[in-house]
């Protein structure tokens, strides 16, 4: 099985996270790398995951795993000022 790489152009780092979108709900979710590749999601390396910011008025949910237990961090949505 071939390792999955970051979806960002020109990045050759191994993927560590999977990013999904809910366009109707204006939300993005990023969590641990999914077990299988999905054409409707994006695989990201650690660096691009850390740099990810949502578009204005969108919510970004970060799902993390602590000791085998999944936890969700739900920051306030980004607002235009």
Q: What is the DSSP letter of 35?
A: S
Tokens of 17: 């996270």
pLDDT digits (tens, 9 = 90+) for 23-75: 999 999 999 999 999 999 999 999 999 999 999 999 999 987 655 544 455 54
Domain assignments of the chain as residue spans, ordered by start: 17-73
pLDDT digits (tens, 9 = 90+) for 11-24: 999 999 999 999 99
Q: Scan for tokens 């949502």, then name that residue.
A: 54
Beta bridge partners of 44: 17
pLDDT recorded at residue 77: 47
């Amino acid at each position: 099985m071939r390792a999955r790489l970051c979806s960002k152009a020109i990045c050759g780092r191994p993927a560590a996270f999977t990013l999904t979108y809910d366009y109707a709900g204006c939300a993005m979710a990023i969590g641990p790398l999914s077990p299988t590749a999905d054409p409707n999601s994006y695989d990201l390396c650690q660096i691009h995951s850390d740099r990810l910011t949502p578009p204005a008025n969108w919510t970004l949910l970060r799902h993390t795993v602590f000791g085998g237990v999944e936890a969700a961090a739900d920051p306030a949505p980004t607002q235009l000022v």
